[in-house]
Structure 1
């Protein structure tokens, strides 16, 4: 097995493991042991830190990956590594000075609705800086073909240490307030461990050096900052907006709902790791017929897998919310709206890979900035009117508009189209099974009821999709499994 396939497989397993630990934390431990207020405070700090992280990193984590291979000698590589570490730090100094100058105004702005945030405000830039340098040192390891350890720290390590911290709250080893500080400390620990691992792979020899192609580097970095800022604002900006209009407990209710909905997008991660380089290769070789076929395959396969995950969540959502405190139950509608937005983005297949490997990627980045502005405006309108449901509706509307814009862009500019008649068939199957399974449940303990209903749903979903041959690739996988277990001759 080659190193790329080997590490991709390990990273996929790690991602699912981390998501499972995160689900335990998010759905049960945090709501029960932290309470809504400090769960929300912790989530707000991490969301705000994630939003400003691209500014602190100056896009160097992506720049390092793109330009490292262009360095011809070992000396050039060492100098370039030094540049990617030291340059963001130098730019963080004026950012920090500006932040200190406007500190009182910033504190008033973010804490006017929720004064409890004021105590922890300094944790936001600290955690954001830790996140930024973690990504830079993780990229340092990745360019030397060592991606698994950093991914383990990011996906599993952070969540596992958070689990240990919440256990500490349960046994009164630390207080709930201490937990907020410990959470930031965990990100600092992740940075230190990843930095030492990166230095072990490639011993540093720090010297400030400006590369000869600095103009190209800075131009690329500018677009990466835009791209990272747009992505992180779309992921966490809604929680920042909630803090400005509602009492902070609503962030906790919203966070549980969005985490559940985000499970729908997990299947796309594994496929994109494989499809992204294939897409780049086909575009480079101008094989647009093969690219169009790949576009259709990724769309229908992700639609089937993502549709199954979405169905399992939607038909079990009422019982799922029985295991979290009652005050969180208002998030059920949020799960539906955020889930539908993720599902629509999912069925666009490798749309993003096509766009970002084309000459039009700059246009789409500015389109993303326009989307952020729309999202902010929609949140300002709907959050005061409908609370967290208004926030979810604003997210659903803005992401749907963005996905439609990307779809139309690829269709009109590149004459590629992801949908087939099987797309409609899959939508009908998903809708019918939702109506068939949603309105009843087993009168048992929630987790047992969820398991039983999911088993029945899985059997029906697989049978219907197999018989209708909605995806030839998925049918081939099922046939191989049936042969392997000798269920078919």
Structure 2
């Protein structure tokens, strides 16, 4: 876990710098200087682009992760044509997306015209946003296979948010109009894309070989079968991340306004995903190599350690945010339902993080079709639950539906891995960290309001940290976290 710990640590630092900038954009600048409808438009642009970018990859990225170790073994350096084939698949996917997006404009107008008319008039801005994000994903995949995950996290998580901040400031200073802001926002990923292209070019770690190799001639049938199943599963898997916003915008009156309010607590819950996003790049590569080498001990180690590490950090973030959620409502009463939405989404995310890298282990195994089948079940359950929950409970129903579906999905994959490989990520330390976090959150929540929002937030965060952090270290819940702590202390003592 040394390489995972090192790269994950650096990636997490930059990821959370990005989250901090994103929090300023999402929770302060957008609500203060933009109408709720205009803010909601930026959210639904992101929701659409997440799904359409997954469509545009044509399932090629996971084929790159799974089969690249075999290509490296079979082919001399410079003769690997898998990156080229992946590039061509993404170019074709973007052309197909462009045709579909323009061809279905009447459908979007009919579905969103009542609750979200602003989105209908700005729908074409989804096109540059989606295409640029598709190629960000492609270049990220290239960096993953050569184990250069830190730079991708810096560029992907940091540059996009900084670019958005710059565009917001230009609007606040009245240097650009609102329409110009929307146009520039649709190109927010372009600076990050250009930087990644430059970094990969300078690194020289990946050669684009257009000549079809003997490895492709031998493996193309397996690759096509894998891509066909996994592409469908990937589309199905990404839809739950977007279905809430699409249904809220399309089913409720004042859809964009409701989506804007809903996005605040969901953004807070997404902060808990930071460690996973930092860890998944290098861990996916190591899991693929372990499956190729049939190293079940390594897979078990990665499964258990990612589970406990993600759970510890996820609970730490949840424990800081939850006692402070009332300060968010005091800051802006329009976020009144934020607490309930965050509790539901946050608890589901804790379960998701505690399951570790179950998706990566399953999809890279010989039973990868199971991931497709479980994804099909997941999306059907998710759409049905979301539809009826929103119908009966409004915006809050979206949180209920997504949380139930996410928990159900993780349970399916948990039992698959337990049944197929006798793998499960939990031990008594899982229970210990849950009890420690629950006690720390309960005590922190009992602290009376200090009269000042920022002072209160600082005091609550410090109290939780002093209760939670030392207890996790004392009981040695995670060897990796304890090793990191000792390393930091030793460096500090040497400098002093």
Structures share fold, TM-score greater than 0.5: yes
Q: Does 1:130 align with 2:145?
A: no
Q: Which residue of 2 aligns with 1:118?
A: 120
Q: Distance in 2 between matches of 1:151 and 1:361?
A: 27
Matched, 1:170 2:155: no
Q: Counterpart of 1:240?
A: 246
Instruction: Determine the structure 1 residue equivalent to 2:156.
Output: 154
Q: Aligned residue for 1:314?
A: 322
Q: State how 1:427-438 maps to structure 2 within 5 Å.
A: 427-438=434-445
**How big is each residue's C-alpha offset from its partner over 1:421-474, in whole Å with a ceiling of 9 and x where there is no partner?**
333333233223322221434423212211111112211223434455544554
**CA contact under 8 A between 2:171 and 2:177: conserved in structure 1?**
yes
CA distance in 2 between partners of 1:125 and 1:242 (Å): 21
SS of residue in 1 equivalent to 2:188: helix
Structure 2 residue 14 is the aligned partner of structure 1 residue 14: yes
Does the C-alpha gap of structure 1 residues 66 and 166 become closer, same or farther in structure 2, counting only changes over 3 Å? same
2:111 aligned residue (109, 112, 121): 109
How far apart in 2 are the matches of 1:47 and 1:194?
Answer: 23
CA distance in 1, matches of 2:423, 2:390: 37
Secondary structure of the structure 2 residue equivalent to 1:186: coil
2:313 to 301, 305, 326: 305
1:418 paired with 2:425, answer yes
Instruction: Give matches, 1:473-488, under 5 Å.
Output: 474-475=481-482, 478=485
In structure 2, distance between residues paired with 1:4 and 1:428: 27
Give the Cα–Cα distance (whole angstroms) in 1 for the partners of residues 159 and 304 of structure 2. 36
CA contact (8 A) 2:11 2:153 kept: yes
C-alpha separation in 2, matches of 1:466 and 1:152 = 28
Report the more deviating stretch, 176-185 or 226-235. 226-235
* Partners of 1:137 and 1:477 in 2: CA distance: 30
User: 1:86 and 1:332, CA in 2 relative to 1: closer, same or farther beyond 3 A?
Assistant: same
Contact 2:147-2:282 within 8 A present in 1 as well: no
Quick one: structure 1 residues 167 and 252, their matched pair in 2 at CA, closer, same or farther if it must change by over 3 Å? same
Change (3 A) 1:138 1:351: closer
Name the SS for the 1:419 alignment partner. Answer: coil
Conserved 8 A contact 2:144-2:281 = no
Contact 1:82 1:209 in 2 (8 A): no
| Pairs aligned (count) | 484
Check 1:384–1:62 CA distance in 2 against 1; reply closer, same or farther (3 A cut). same
Q: Give the whole-Å Cα distance in 2 for the aligned partners of 1:359 and 1:61.
A: 17
* Cα separation, partners in 2 of 1:150 and 1:476, compared to 1, 3 Å: closer
Name the counterpart of 2:88: 86
State the Cα distance separating 1:217 from its structure 2 match.
3.5
Q: More displaced, 278-287 or 397-406? A: 278-287
**Residue of structure 2 aligned with 1:259, choices 267, 270, 277:** 267
Aligned to 2:221: 215
Whether the aligned pair in 1 keeps the contact of 2:66 and 2:364 (CA below 8 Å) is no
Secondary structure of 2:119 counterpart: helix
Asked whether the equivalents of residues 320 and 450 of structure 1 are also in contact (C-alpha less than 8 Å), the reply is no
Corresponding position of 1:36:
36
2:411 to 404, 408, 419: 404
Give the TM-score normalised by the residue count of structure 1: 0.87
User: Does 2:24 align with 1:24?
Assistant: yes
Give 5+ residue unaligned stretches, structure 1: none
**Structure 2 unmatched ranges of 5 or more:** none
Is 1:355 paired with 2:362?
Answer: yes
SS at match of 2:441: helix
The structure 1 residue matched to 2:185, chosen from 180, 183, 186, is 183
- Partner deviation per Cα, 1:91-141 (whole Å, 9 max, x = no partner): 544554454444323321233322111111112233212211232244345
**Deviation of 1:303 (Å):** 2.6
Whole-angstrom distance in 1 between the partners of 2:477 and 2:4:
30
CA–CA distance in 2 between the matches of 1:63 and 1:10? 27
Secondary structure, in 3 states, of the residue corresponding to 1:122?
A: helix
> Aligned match of 1:342 in 349, 353, 367?
349
The question of whether the paired residues in 1 share the 8 Å contact of 2:4 and 2:279 is answered with no
Alignment of 1:217-232 (within 5 A): 217-232=223-238
Query: Measured at CA, do residues 190 and 288 of structure 1 come closer, stay the same or move farther in structure 2, by a change above 3 Å?
Result: closer
Equivalent-residue separation in structure 2 for 1:67 and 1:467 (angstroms): 42
Match of 2:384 in 1: 377
Deviation of residue 280 (structure 1)?
4.8
Query: What CA deviation, in whole Å up to 9, does each residue of 1:186-242 have, x standing for no partner?
Result: 234444454455556669989797963543443333244234323422222211111
For 2:272, what is the secondary structure of its paired residue? helix
Higher mean alpha-carbon deviation, 342-351 vs 186-195, is at 186-195
Query: 1:134–1:195: 8 Å Cα contact kept in structure 2?
Result: no
How far off its partner does 1:163 sit?
0.3
Cα contact 1:60–1:84 (8 A) shared by 2: yes
Paired with 2:84 and 2:284, the residues of 1 have a C-alpha distance of 29
Is the CA contact 1:257–1:331 (under 8 Å) kept in the aligned structure 2?
yes
The superposition leaves residues 304-359 of structure 1 with CA deviations (integer Å, 9 ceiling, x where unpaired) of: 33222211111111113333x32123222111111001101111233334323322
Name the CA distance, whole Å, in 2 between partners of 1:430 and 1:382.
30
- Cα drift, residue 389 of structure 1: 1.0
Question: In the alignment, which residue of structure 1 is the partner of 2:394?
Answer: 387
The structure-2 alpha-carbon separation of the partners of 1:44 and 1:95, relative to structure 1 and needing over 3 Å to count, comes to: closer
Compared CA separation, residues 470 and 143, structure 1 to 2 (3 A): closer
